[in-house]
């Protein structure tokens, strides 16, 4: 299971920026277990966004958002597709992998509502091209939904290095350059301005698991009795 924590609502609103309309997409897998996602949390976020003057065009929980085929099929229904079309942004309540798969197939700028933190090992995940490095400070809202931590060989946070060559990374002609992927995605979305934003050096302490979670069932079943739901961060 991948472990997640809610981003402060203020940060989610910042990422949405001036855009008025948002579609809410949630994962019914790991975030439910981590008590950061699912119908109830989505309803909570919807209320917060509406309070801040945003229009929520629709809201949906998909089992295993990390499975792209599953996500795509859920938007076949015309009513859903219309809700998605109407939204300028998709706020995604899932781990970094789910946000990336949504970004990869929905053709909309995404906003991550959660931070993915380290479990120091993962059991039982649906493999797909997208990977999450569990950095604890999700940047997908500024990178077109492509993770720079896992796609860039140097995990750079401010754009491409000089080693990018014909779309490939300097470490191997077999490896795509992550920042070129980000550039191309943002270009397709008409949002290359996002590349101009300055990103602060990473705070590596954020990827560490907090003590309260280390003593809970989210870390190990041995702690089932000591379970304590993660405190909801507020803006």
Partner 1 sequence: MSRLQEKLSRGEFTVTGEIGPPKGTNIDPVIHEAGEYLKGSVTAVNVTDIQTAVMRASSLVGCVKLKEKGIEPVLQMVCRDRNRLALQSDLLSAAILGIENVLSITGDHVVAGDHKGAMPVYDLDSVGLLQAMAKLESGTDMGLDNKGAPNALDGSPKFFKGCVVTPCAEDVEPQVIKLAKKAEAGAQFVQTQAVYDPKAFEKFINLVKQYKIKIPILVGIVMLKNAGMANYMNNFVPGVQVPKEITKRLKETDKKEVPKVSAQICGQLIRDMKGMCQGAHLMTLGWDRYVPDIVAAAGL
Q: Which residues bind ligand SF4 (CB under 6 A)?
A: 96, 115-116, 132-135, 138-140, 147, 149-150, 152-154, 156, 160-161, 163-164, 169-171, 177-179
Shorter beta-carbon distance to ligand SF4: residue 19 or 170: 170
Q: Does residue number 180 form part of the binding site for partner 1 (CB under 8 A)?
A: yes
118 closest CA partner among 36, 202, 26, 219: 219
- Judged by CB under 8 A, the stretch of 34-42, 95-103, 192-200, 219-227 that binds partner 1 is 192-200
Could you say which of partner 1, ligand SF4, none residue 149 binds, taking C-beta under 5 to 8 angstroms by partner kind? ligand SF4
What x-and-dash track marks residues 141-160 binding partner 1 by CB under 8 A?
Answer: ------------xxxxxxxx
Tell me how far apart the alpha carbons of residues 180 and 194 are, in angstroms, rounded to a whole number: 14
DSSP-H helix ranges across the chain? 9-16, 30-33, 39-51, 68-73, 78-86, 96-106, 148-151, 178-188, 193-196, 211-214
| φ/ψ bin of 75: left (φ > 0), alpha (ψ from -120 to 50), beta (otherwise) | alpha
Among 161, 176, 189, 210, binds partner 1 (CB under 8 A): 161
Tell me how far apart the alpha carbons of residues 51 and 54 are, in angstroms, rounded to a whole number: 7
CA angle 205, 211, 214 (to 5 degrees): 110
Closest separation in Å from C-beta 53 to ligand SF4: 26
Please give the structure tokens belonging to residue 34: 């981590």
- Judged by CB under 8 A, the stretch of 14-22, 95-103, 178-186, 207-215 that binds partner 1 is 178-186
Closest separation in Å from C-beta 18 to ligand SF4: 23
């Amino acid at each position: 299971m991948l472990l997640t924590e809610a981003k402060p609502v203020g940060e989610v609103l910042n990422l949405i920026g001036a855009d008025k309309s948002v579609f809410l997409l949630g994962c019914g897998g790991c975030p439910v277990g981590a008590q950061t996602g699912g119908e109830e949390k989505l309803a909570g976020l919807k209320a917060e966004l509406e309070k801040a003057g945003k229009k929520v065009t629709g809201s949906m929980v998909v089992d295993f958002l990390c499975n792209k085929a599953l996500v795509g099929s859920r938007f076949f229904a015309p009513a859903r597709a219309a809700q998605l079309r109407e939204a300028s942004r998709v706020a995604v309540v899932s781990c970094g992998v789910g946000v990336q798969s949504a970004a990869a197939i929905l053709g909309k700028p995404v906003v991550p509502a959660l931070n993915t933190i380290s479990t120091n090992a993962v059991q039982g995940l649906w493999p797909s091209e997208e990977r999450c490095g569990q950095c604890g400070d999700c940047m997908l809202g500024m990178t077109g939904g492509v993770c720079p931590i896992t796609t860039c060989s140097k995990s750079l946070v401010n754009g491409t290095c000089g080693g990018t060559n014909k779309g490939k990374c300097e470490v191997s002609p077999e490896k795509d350059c992550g920042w070129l992927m980000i550039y191309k995605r943002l270009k397709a979305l008409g949002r290359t301005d996002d590349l101009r934003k300055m990103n602060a050096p990473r705070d590596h302490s954020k990827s560490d698991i907090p003590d309260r979670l280390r003593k809970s069932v989210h870390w190990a079943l041995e702690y089932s009795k000591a379970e304590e739901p993660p405190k909801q961060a507020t803006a």
